[in-house]
Structure 1
Amino acid sequence: MARIPARFLTFFSGSLLFLLFLPSLPAAQTLQRRTHTLGDPFNDSYRSNLTTLKDASVNGNALQLTPDTRNNVSFLLNKSGRVLFPTPIRIWEDRPAAAAGNSSNTTAGSALQRLVISFNTSFHFNVFREANQTAGEGLAFIIVADGSGMPAGSEGGYLGLTNATIDGSAANQLVAVEFDTVKQPYDPDDNHVGIDVNSVVSVANRSLSELNITISPETAAVYTAWVDYSGSTKRIDVYVDNRGRPKPRAPALSAPLDLGANLAQVSYFGFAGSTGVSVYELNCILGWNLTVEVLPERSGGQGSFVKIGVPVLAAVAAVAVAGAAWFCYLRRRRRGKGKGDEKRLAGTLKSLPGTPREFGYKELKRATAGFDEKNRLGQGGFGVVYRGVIPGEGTQVAVKLFSRDTMQGDFLAELTIINRLRHKNLVRLLGWCHKNGKLLLVYDYMPNGSLDFHLYNPSPAGVRPLPWDRRYKVLAGVASALHYLHNEYEQKVVHRDLKASNILLDADFNARLGDFGLARAIDHGRTSYAEVELDGVPGTVGYVAPECFHTGKATRESDVFGFGAVILEVVCGRRPRSDVSGFRFVADWVWKLHREGCLLDAVDPQLGGEYSAEEAQRLLLLGLACSHPIPGDRPKTQAVVQIISGSVPPPKVPPFRPAFVWPSMVGDDDDGATSTIASSSAYVSTPGWTPHYTSKDSPDASFV
């Protein structure tokens, strides 16, 4: 039954000469996420696919926010420009509280909640300055209301954002993350990051000199910035590091920010930059990835009215009386609907066989000190995870708080899959909670964090980041867990998001595979789970098998591909998507070394030579075999476990990476066999070939 917005609840008191067609609002549903991966490099095709304003352009394989010539210095001075992604993004939506859930944003008497999106973006930037010259002024990642223009006079310290007349006006409806190279009276120095809201006077800023980062150094450098925003917690986090390094554990700048209160409902994402009257720099964006939540569309319009003639007044009156009666019925039903939904969900949870303990919301709130930011362990697409200690028990736990109650489907999907999983290398679910629209899952706490943290974060002097024996043990544990999911559990489970950040380590550094937010169970006798996604199969570039971009299907074979990426990552100490020796993906680089007979050159140099050459050779060959472009030629998990244990020899790997051929037919037979047929649209294999997915609708990815 469609919900009736509050603004239409008094229509019976008006003229009886109108009938009302009520808009239909969707029931609570999962917010999808859409990813746009752009550039790196930005070639000529982007000139027509991006909006460039004023002095900005797409040139030299980059977004030039200000002119990119160095032949005419005067032409570089006092310039500003913007480059915008041309598709507008819906930032917020006011929804009836019954549809959007209880929230502190619900205003008394209005029964409306403002639903605000979350987003993650990462981009490479280079700010170049001439030798012995002073740089100025800066660049910014922006969200703006106007997608077709920019204010005049936005040069210099206004960074292409505002001007002397409008700076500070709420009508600007602008939010920016600035990287500023000139000190103004309101700035901490000439090398800082700041959060701007309707003004170039930042609401929060920090000197990057504290992090040994110089935005515009004398020797040219490329940096990567990550910007994460949570619409549920109303907080923005900004991270910065040299390109090619992993995302830092701690943000360079973190601040509260309500996009719903400061931005137009529909806004544009992009970049802005400027130069000064007497100082200049080249402001370049070399690559950009943007992942945003997509607010569910509301079917129907704002309601339409059809006029009815006076001769049928009596008939209309009768309809109105009947409508009034129906309205009263709906109102009574609606009053009990919220509690009814919660009772039904709780009943579903309690009826699941083997479901663990039900925790009280207050109990978990106390355990996490009120979900204090100091206890936050991490944040993913579906929610935030906090460390907690159960009161009166002293048990350390990890509490996953789903980002909004509209994610009940994901909550149930995750719970129904993992509530009966029993394996020593899977994160154990301890319990759940659903109260007042809050959805939570409680897991064993993993004191040693995630695998990627130990691979990429600096270790104390003299300490290896992760010694070889532990790396080997971790991979053996993950392989065992994956084999259990694919073949030994009563239902076959496809994880769909296998990557280093989802592999957790317990107190003894045993691997525990976690985060089943994307996992799906498949029937016996079938090998894949097909689901229509907003932008194809979800996952992270480098871990996602190439066929998934075409089939939209996650399979056991695609899980094996993801595990192959993890194997190479652990042995090489490099993320799957890394620039190395002219290659964009580690697998291509390792395949080249295999062909040249120097495979062990791929081993992580941070190990200092302290590893088993025989084991490393075995793992690297297995990683390449799992990374085979053709799904049916990848090893099954049983073989993977045997190879890692040493009970069978490593697979034979061809010297050149085979071609990925499309279409690929994924079989439905029980053994998961696949077959591939050639077609005129086949990709051609070349030495070191790997597909370069840069479409605007690619799956979730990050530039690291």
Structure 2
Amino acid sequence: MGLFLTAKTSKIFIFLCFLLAISEAEKLKTFSKQYGPPLDQTYYEYFMVKQPAGINNEALQITPDSLSKGFKFTNNSGRILLKESFKLWKDDDDEISSNKSRVASFNTSFLFNIYQVNNTSGEGLTFLIAPGLDLPPPNSFGQFLGLTNATTDGNSTNKIIAIEFDTVKQGYDPDDNHVGLDINTVRSVKYESLTPHNITLAPPEERFHNVWIQYDGIKKIIEIYIAKQETKHGPTPPRPSSPIIRSELDLREVLNQNSYFGFSASTGNTAQLNCVLRWNLTVEYYHNEKPLLKIVLGTGIPGLVLLLMGAAWLGYYFHKRRMGRSNSNILGALKSLPGSPKEYEFRELKKATNNFDEKHKLGEGGYGVVYRGVLAKANLEIAVKWFLRDNIKGQDDFLAELTIINRLRHKHLVKLLGWCHKNGKLLLVYEYMPKGSLDQHLFVGQDKPPLSWNLRYKIVSGVASALHYLHNEYDQRVVHRDLKASNIMLDSNFNARLGDFGLARALENEKTSYVEVEGIPGTIGYIAPECFHTGKATQQSDVYAFGAVLLEVVCGQRPGTRIAGFNCLVDWVWFLHRDGILLQAVDEKLGKDFVAEEAERLLLLGLACLHPTVSERPQTQAILQIISGSLPPPHVPPFKPSFVWPSMVPLDVDSSTLDTATSITTSHFNSGWSQQQHLSTESNAGHIDQSML
């Protein structure tokens, strides 16, 4: 009997083949996690840790710390590995042999401290990818760095890759202060001395170093970066522009398909502390989807036809049912997001918010409404953001926010828990912030005490840290585009959490700005002047908005407020600065309960961030250092400079895309330029008026 399909059944057959193809696929997923600081005993659930390694003094102690008792400090080795393994390539043998096949990518950053004991150093620390969770091999102390020993070193069966930070010179080493790429052996296939780069891994005094390791599974390239950090809890330095080591590397040729990430270290005849104080890890890995149907060809043609027909009908039925539940396009996009958070049932969120009761409403704006809810089973408070726009633009906003925030990991960003999409309803589920938004505490009535100075300073420090992460530390540069007090949420301890990523966009590596074709995004008082000419959002326009937040926090006035005859807050503060009475700008509700030096520092920093000329605004790294006090306040001219366009092409703005008519016209604005411009574009702002995530 031959195989005969009608036009109708052929379509079903094609659909079935497609269904089988995707069900058999191994899909890339993303694991992203931030560990510490501080690293404490609670992290034992994530790591495989066995003596002599441990988690003590807010760090992963890869070899024993000097305060430990009962451990020897010399001739020792240790490992700490993440308990979860990752599948780094597909099973398909044909694909493995193809040069075009891809391997999973990963990127990691960590802060470490190598500290001399008794003014001696030895031996080193490594970032390790290993085949299992075993302890270091016997006799892997000294030169073997907890990786191999005299018997196993160089064996291809080791299945390890390590980045070593070596502090003792062996015969095969360039010196006692280098980074090396190790493959199945401690004899590095590629190394670089750090001395010419003004970096000393194990100096006599306490020293901290940040490392970034990025592996591209398509290009099969590994890059290693390193930079000094001034203090343990100080701001993270920017990643250097050039890697210290760059090398071709195919993980399949070395590692087990399922491997583990972590650290190893050793000491020799002399001892040193080998500590990791903070670790961020993002790994793409392959995830097997179980096949929905398995066809055995030995059943014969008649049986095969019936089987295909039956399976096709079942596939078609379930396909139609799924399509009836939700729009396939957006649902497919949601399902394909890397590292997608949890999908919630609509009825679950409806119950949690008491049918979206008005009494549970936290805020409302142009993008939707936010409700407080409680998931009874998990005993967890949540905030549910319901997008009100049912058109395509609303879906784009929803996907933009979800695509960006679902991979962000930072203690000063609002945590996304999950999403829901049903019958056109688009909802995001966030961790609930019990203290609400910053503006709710800045602008209170006379019957309530003002937000204390210490909390204000703590909050702006947290926001600056989050902004630096978005601009410099995430694997893509992200511009928030709507930084303001109502989008700064506060947890139970008044820690700042930056939220509302409905306007945020991730910039591609070669781009410096994002074009908004439908109008200028943002909110009155926070929009940088150049945005009205370029139509672009940049990192510098985020810095401008942060400056507006700084003045708002210190002065207790909204940026667009008319005050003392001035059209906006920044003009009034600049006037006070010119007359040498800057501290009169401090919120009068505080009385004398503030630190004058800190207030002046924040006010000057705010003016610097609000500078009309883009190139004069500080970068986020400098902002962090100024707030922490490790850099002096910026120099601010006594008179507010006029905004001139274009006196020069601003930083991070591509001059080749500027409008020709704009670029030949020089426009001068007086001190009231911002209010006039903001009023004229208010209808395009698309901002959220109240507390929104």
Q: TM-score, normalised by structure 2?
A: 0.50
